Amino acid sequence: FYVMVERDEEKNEFHPVGYFSKEKNCPELFNLACILIFPPHQRKGYGKFIISLSYEISKIEKTVGSPEKPISDLGKLSYRSYWSYILLDLINKNKDASELTLKQMAQQTSIKVEDILSTLQHLKMIKHLKGQFVIHVSRKMVEQELDAFIKRNYAGTFCKPESLRYELHTSDATEPSAKRTKTESKST
């Protein structure tokens, strides 16, 4: 379990606001099993923070991941929004997005190919041609979609990878497991 706390600066106290769990060595590659933000702390971006944290941990572990299924309707909306932003940002940073493969996108984002595919289909940015999927977007389309996220400072509550302390170790050569030494991140 990973517990998230808020710090009360005046009293120098910490108060729990939510948590998430993650199964070690999960064969289905779930990078988040359960997430909960306590009701008084919802709508503060903590869910987004935890989702982004789970993917930053997947990047350190050099794996792709996905939330454990089944996923609630609110969870689907939260993940679809996160995946959309991350994929739009990735496409925007690549000069020729049509050259990106789903596998390359998964390697760069740690998002499972199935989740990338469903998100691009939702965004109407992928076509099925001659038995394979092809990213089909215009630069203007990507910029417009991304601009809506930027205007709301969507990524403002994401985990900052440079602030993350997470130690990976292998218990045997075939199945890496992660040992958490200290996980913290500051959001602005």
Q: Which residues contact 1 (CB under 8 A, 6 or more apart)?
A: 19, 20, 21
Active site residue 13: no
Distance CA 4, CA 15 (A): 8
Residue 37, beta-bridge partner list: 18
Pairing of strands 34-37, 13-21: antiparallel
DSSP string, 20-48: EE--TT-TT-EEESEEEE-GGGTTSSHHH
Contacts of 187 (CB under 8 A, 6+ apart): 45, 49, 156, 157, 158, 159, 160
Which residue, chain included where needed, has tokens 């997005």? 97
Q: Which of 56, 61, 68, 145 is catalytic?
A: 68
Active site members: 68
